[in-house]
Amino acid sequence: MANPSKSTPPRSTPVPPRGGARRGGPGGRPAGGGPVKGGQARQAQHRRNRMLAWGAVVAVVVVVAALIGVKLAGGGGSGGAARQPAPASAVSKLTTVPVSTLVSAASKVHGLYPATAAGDPPLTSGGKPELLYIGAEFCPICATERWPMTVALSHFGTFSNLQQTHSAVTDGNIPTLSYYGSTFTSPYLTFTPVENTTNQRQGNGYKPLQQPTAAEQALWLKHSGNPPSYPFVDIGGKVVLTTSQFPDTVVQGHSFSDIVSAVGSNNNTLGASIDASAAVLTRYICSITNQQPAQTCSAVANVALPSSTGANGSSTSG
């Protein structure tokens, strides 16, 4: 039986200084003087030298412009590339895992980190129960938890415009999804994702992206401390998760396509950990949707909820 081991969260490291590109330029012009024997040949040589020198300048400008373009596209710095649309094939795979597969994984995987009772009034939005997620794109624990959360939520509604990204290079470089700019439609609940920062360094932290409302901030502080940490998942005011359900070391070192391929395949620790976590999350979510949709919720009704203690870690923006 798979038993994902505990781990401590990766820590941020300073960004090394970036050096500037050296610029080239044309050589000095030859000194003037009267005509001498072979003057035409020397003049031709001078013209060739000037052309070569200016060619070198153009080449340097092209290289510098390319580097600037990469930087503006999010490819420079310690954060690595910024988010991009997730491949349609990957989204299709993640959002169509049969609930029976999730239930099967839950019977094999033990040691998942449990949610804790929130003790709050019901959390609602738009007249429906609300699942509030506050995370950050740099955060390796968030990167880990988005995988089962996406799989589980897909049994209650439909995602569009999911993004592909990764935790910061200095924070595990874990391939994952981002909810920034995505939408989720469901007749059963409202999903409110807040990606608080990017995976790009700014000073001692990361560039801000989305800010929680005052009410969301209050819940975040109440359940994860001050300063708050990532991730924070509030399931209808009933239970909260303040870490990933399984250690980030399980996904670290795998490519995006490796992880997508493993989902729904319970013959390895990676796939089974994601699927089992999604099964447990599905049961948590059913507890706030009045056990709807009935077919999904009845299928996970007997999934054992984790009871282990301890933590898989959390992340802060420092």
Sign of the dihedral through C-alpha 235, 238, 244, 245? negative
Q: What residue ranges of the chain have pLDDT lower than 50?
A: 5-42, 45-46, 52-54, 56-78, 310
Name the nearest CA neighbour of 123 among 196, 211, 213: 213
CA 314/CA 60 separation, integer angstroms: 44
Helix or strand run (H / E) with residue 283:
helix 269-286
Please count the other Cβ atoms lying within 10 Å of the Cβ belonging to residue 187: 10
Beta bridge partners of 239: 117, 235
pLDDT score recorded for residue 82 = 84
Beta bridge partners of 202: 205
Find the distance separating the first CA and the last CA of the chain, reported in whole Å: 37
DSSP per residue, 4-51: PPP-PPP---PPPPPPPPPP--PPPPPPP----TTHHHHHHHHHHHHH
193: left (phi > 0), else alpha (psi -120 to 50), else beta?
beta
Name the nearest CA neighbour of 193 among 133, 153, 237: 133
CA 281/CA 1 separation, integer angstroms: 20
Angle between helices 269-286 and 99-106 (to 10 degrees): 110
CA 95/CA 159 separation, integer angstroms: 8
pLDDT score recorded for residue 55 = 52
Residues 58-74: b if buried by 16+ CB within 10 A, e if exposed: eeeeeeeeeeeeeeeeb
pLDDT score recorded for residue 307 = 87
Predicted model pTM: 0.76
